[in-house]
Chain A
Amino acid sequence: MRVFLVVIVLCAALVIPVHTAAKPAAWVMDNGITLILEENHLVDIIALELFQRGGMLYEEEENAGISRLLARSLDKGTMKRDAAEIAVAFDDLGAAFGVQILPDFTGLSLRAPGETFLSALEILSEILTEPVFPADEVKREQVLFIEDIRRSRDEPFVALYDTFREVFYRDHSYRLAESGREEAVSSITREKLVEFFHRHWVGENIVVSLVGNFEIESMRGKIEQLFAGIRDAPVPDYHSLPEKAPDEPEQVSEEAAIYSTWLMVGYPAPPAAHPDYAAMRVINALLGHGGSSRLFLEVRGRRGLAYSAFSFYPTRMHPSHLVGYAIVDPGNEEEAIEAMQEVIEALKQEVVGEEEIARARNIVIGEHLLAQETRSGRAWRLGWMETMRRGFDYVDTLVNEVEDVDAGDIQRVAREYFNVPTVVVRGPGGG
């Protein structure tokens, strides 16, 4: 059975198709916007994903959360419509509009049936080119945002991960709570918000990606017409520069009145555009993706210390982190931390077998493929990789890079990165 499995695995790596529709095409518009278009006529849906590169990289302690407040306020009024009219107009068209704020970018998404998409696109272009940020609406969003910041720490994972980043990064804006800082958000004025928008939402900082039921040439013309009003101006420098990884191990414990103890064990990891990116993705799959991963088998399976034991490796423009996390019974945290460190750091000494690597490669490739099942998923990945400075075509070449990762790469990358752990614990009695 084992031999048979290996054969399947190796074949799988060779034949998995990433995407079967037409190839994407890209242009840089006159105002600097990067536009990526891909036709897909199987279903009458068009999905747009827009990325404003920078996001929290432009933030510092004093204005932490301004990107999020801006995104929340963006659709609260244009020169032609107020907030209610915008909401009603999108809903009347059956269009789904959303915002997403991640450390490296602010994202806007729009999805609509083909027949109403262009009308929805006109509303989006108004939001981007003629926002008025009404003072009362901004004020209300500010108050609700502060409530959300307080609430975000009700979830143990969010609270623990905020603490992890605070310990792991010293000056970089990645250390700021992704949900924002209450004091900083309180001090943001409408004027600062408008100024932030005009400085940072400039063409060269924007990537727009569309996939769906359209003809490329006519959609390109429409986007160029509707988005021409976005300013063509120099891109400001980021507040944060890439930061050196911690050089001393650190462990921090927090007390919370919860039933279980949550813990994270993290190490430095490469940014998206680094040559080690694909290898670290494979390592992450091998360590902590699903029920057959090393962390799961050791911490939950063999030692029975946890219900959940996984790892994650966020794709970032600047140096990132690989984190193993587990949820354990209070009292088990020290054993779990030790076990997790052992599992992760074992990769430095051990030559991982081909069968296990092949499985991990296929996890990364399969996940990549499954994430592109919908038009939104595909558009998001294309735009995301362009935003992260890997280029949109990396979405289709990532597979080759992952397939090339071997045991030597894994050991080399593990030795390079898995040396100084950062540990955070949250639970009853401080874990």
Chain B
Amino acid sequence: MMRMGIAFMIIIFFAVMLLAEAGAVEFEYREEVLDNGFRILVEEVPGPGIVSMGVWVAVGSAHEEEEEAGIAHFLEHMLLKGTETRPPGRIQEEIASLGGRMNGATSFEYTYYFLTLPGHFWKEGLDVLADIMLNPSFDPQEFTREREVVLREIDEREDSPGSRVARLFYESLFDHHPYGRPIIGYREVVKELGREDLIRFYEEHYHPENMLLIITGDIDAESVIAQAKKWFENVPVGQPPRVYRPSEPPLKGVRLAEEEADIRSVYWMMGFHAPSQEETQEAYALSMAVSILGGGRSSRLYRSVREEQGLVSSISSSYLPLPDAGAAMVRVIVSPENQEMAKSAVREEIGRFLEEGPTEEEMERARTMIASSLLFSMEGASGRRNQYGYFGVSNNLQYLRGYLEGVHRVTVCEVLEVSRKYLSTDDYLLAVLRPLKEVE
């Protein structure tokens, strides 16, 4: 499920960070906040008879202490295992029987449980989803079995070069902040976690004011809200613990983090600290910058490093704004013999961008690409659910709504200014996964 979680995070991230411009997308959701703080967001999306729903909980790996790293993700697994009335296996069986699919995912700041199914089964789907959230059984036998599953998942992720270099990237970029810890946790910590630890973590964080229910698709909003209230309005209020979040000192010089694996290409990620979701105007401007630099086949890095110099088989840049901090990155896959030339070429291209700034033509192109990316990402019920969840869980739907207009307003000067503030050819992180020496 972790694999799914990371995948979704990336989808959302690309969708959101490459999106923008006004006019193309309409937001027609209804939001209700119950007396206990539980939030419900519903949107009628006419289409091929599908409903998508999910509960986002504002707790992820960044809410963990070092000695419990991985507990949020482990808990996600356990919630999907069974409830007081649904024994292990029943949840998946029930959703599959309805022609739907269901999963969960964990990220830095949130965990979510989502399903998509034929629209006329929305009530049955909501019934399962609410039961998972409110009545988990934490079956002791399942707990023991699931821990083994999580441990294997850790190994599996380390076998994938893309996942492994991303883990290396975040742990090196965020030396102090919990964003540096792997979402999936550490093997030795997961081995020691007990069932009671998971129950405690659940009781501490799964409170109504920490949760957001989203339902989009071929539905009647009125009926859906009424049904959701029946489930969630009587859940008692709680008080989630505060977690200490240290600030991250700036990168000075080149921070190199390297590992070896049984692979043939070199995977590297060049990284920079970047604005958080709170720094809205800077975030919009940096989104434009990364789009122009490496956001598509007409982007500077793609054209120069891949197409003109033929140095890399894959290159892109992106930016992930999180509530506490952000990360901007250039991802490259390169042959061992080209890696040094590729590094120089990327640095040179970033340097040129920081020197000259974007052209008006590039700005316009980025706005157009971002606008259609938004349109595409919010075409169906599932895409809309994911966008609302990602921003809604941190009470930042305004970021999404304002993104359209915000990106449209960003000027060349702002892009240049924010790029010079955060990107650099001297101070950056380089996370590298390279072939074992004998392979090389």
Q: Are A369 and B152 in contact (CB under 8 A)?
A: no
Q: Are A373 and B381 in contact (CB under 8 A)?
A: yes
Q: Are B97 and A372 in contact (CB under 8 A)?
A: no
Q: Is B275 an interface residue (CB 8 A)?
A: no
For chain A, residues 330 to 366, give those with C-beta under 8 angstroms from any C-beta of chain B.
Answer: 358-359, 362-363, 365-366
**Which B residues are CB-close (under 8 A) to A43?**
375, 379
For chain A, residues 3 to 17, give those with C-beta under 8 angstroms from any C-beta of chain B.
Answer: 5, 8-9, 12, 15-17
| Residues A259 and B372 in contact in the complex (CB < 8 Å), given A8-B98, A291-B89, A300-B149 | no
**Which B residues are CB-close (under 8 A) to A25?**
none
Q: Are A301 and B88 in contact (CB under 8 A)?
A: yes
With beta carbons under 8 angstroms apart, the residue of B97, B161, B335, B368 that contacts A155 is: B161
Q: Are A329 and B96 in contact (CB under 8 A)?
A: no
Distance (Å) between the CB of A179 and the closest chain B CB?
A: 11
Q: Is B145 an interface residue (CB 8 A)?
A: yes
Distance (Å) between the CB of B114 and the closest chain A CB?
A: 12
Q: Are A91 and B369 in contact (CB under 8 A)?
A: yes
Q: Is A289 an interface residue (CB 8 A)?
A: yes
For chain B, residues 137 to 177, give those with C-beta under 8 angstroms from any C-beta of chain A.
Answer: 145, 148-149, 152-153, 155-156, 158-161
Q: Is B297 an interface residue (CB 8 A)?
A: yes
Q: Is B236 an interface residue (CB 8 A)?
A: no
**Which B residues are CB-close (under 8 A) to A8?**
97-98, 121, 124
With beta carbons under 8 angstroms apart, the residue of A44, A95, A154 that contacts B265 is: A154
For chain A, residues 27 to 71, give those with C-beta under 8 angstroms from any C-beta of chain B.
Answer: 42-45
**Which B residues are CB-close (under 8 A) to A374?**
376, 379-380, 383
Q: Are B97 and A92 in contact (CB under 8 A)?
A: no
Docked CA distance A244–B334 (Å): 40
Q: Are A365 and B99 in contact (CB under 8 A)?
A: yes
With beta carbons under 8 angstroms apart, the residue of B118, B156, B262, B306 that contacts A369 is: B118
**Which B residues are CB-close (under 8 A) to A183?**
none
Q: Are A260 and B159 in contact (CB under 8 A)?
A: yes
With beta carbons under 8 angstroms apart, the residue of A154, A297, A307 that contacts B156 is: A307
Q: Are A304 and B97 in contact (CB under 8 A)?
A: no
Q: Is A123 an interface residue (CB 8 A)?
A: no
| Residues A290 and B379 in contact in the complex (CB < 8 Å), given A92-B365, A154-B265, A155-B161 | no
**Which A residues are CB-close (under 8 A) to B333?**
151
Docked CA distance A15–B368 (Å): 41
With beta carbons under 8 angstroms apart, the residue of A143, A297, A365, A369 that contacts B48 is: A369
Q: Is B41 an interface residue (CB 8 A)?
A: no
**Which B residues are CB-close (under 8 A) to A369?**
48-50, 99, 118
Docked CA distance A8–B372 (Å): 40
Nearest chain A residue, comparing its CB with the CB of B124: A8
Docked CA distance A42–B99 (Å): 24
For chain A, residues 311 to 330, give those with C-beta under 8 angstroms from any C-beta of chain B.
Answer: 327-329
Q: Is B405 an interface residue (CB 8 A)?
A: no
| Residues A21 and B307 in contact in the complex (CB < 8 Å), given A256-B262, A301-B88, A307-B149 | no
* Tally of B interface residues using CB under 8 Å: 70
With beta carbons under 8 angstroms apart, the residue of A88, A94, A153, A301 that contacts B371 is: A94
**Which B residues are CB-close (under 8 A) to A92?**
298, 364-365, 368
Q: Are B313 and A304 in contact (CB under 8 A)?
A: no
Q: Are A329 and B152 in contact (CB under 8 A)?
A: yes
Q: Is B296 an interface residue (CB 8 A)?
A: yes
Q: Is B352 an interface residue (CB 8 A)?
A: no
Q: Is A219 an interface residue (CB 8 A)?
A: no
**Which A residues are CB-close (under 8 A) to B96?**
289-290, 292, 359, 362-363, 366
Q: Are A156 and B97 in contact (CB under 8 A)?
A: no
Docked CA distance A375–B145 (Å): 41
Q: Are B159 and A156 in contact (CB under 8 A)?
A: yes
Docked CA distance A8–B88 (Å): 20
Distance (Å) between the CB of A26 and the closest chain B CB?
A: 20
Docked CA distance A322–B2 (Å): 26
Nearest chain A residue, comparing its CB with the CB of B368: A94
Q: Are B48 and A90 in contact (CB under 8 A)?
A: no
**Which A residues are CB-close (under 8 A) to B101?**
290, 366-367, 370
- In the complex, besides A16-B99, A91-B297, 17 extra interface pairs with C-beta distance below 8 angstroms are A9-B97, A91-B365, A94-B372, A112-B372, A147-B334, A151-B333, A297-B89, A301-B88, A304-B149, A327-B156, A362-B99, A366-B98, A366-B101, A369-B118, A370-B382, A373-B48, A373-B381
* Leading 4 A-B pairs by shortest Cβ distance: A366-B99, A94-B372, A291-B92, A257-B262
A-B contact list, 16 entries, CB within 8 Å:
A12-B98, A21-B48, A90-B298, A111-B376, A112-B372, A113-B371, A147-B335, A151-B264, A156-B159, A156-B160, A292-B96, A301-B88, A307-B156, A366-B100, A367-B99, A367-B101
Residues of A within 8 A of B (CB): 1, 5, 8-9, 12, 15-21, 42-45, 83-84, 87-88, 90-96, 111-113, 140, 143-145, 147-148, 150-151, 153-156, 256-260, 289-292, 297, 300-301, 304, 306-308, 327-329, 358-359, 362-363, 365-367, 369-370, 372-375, 378
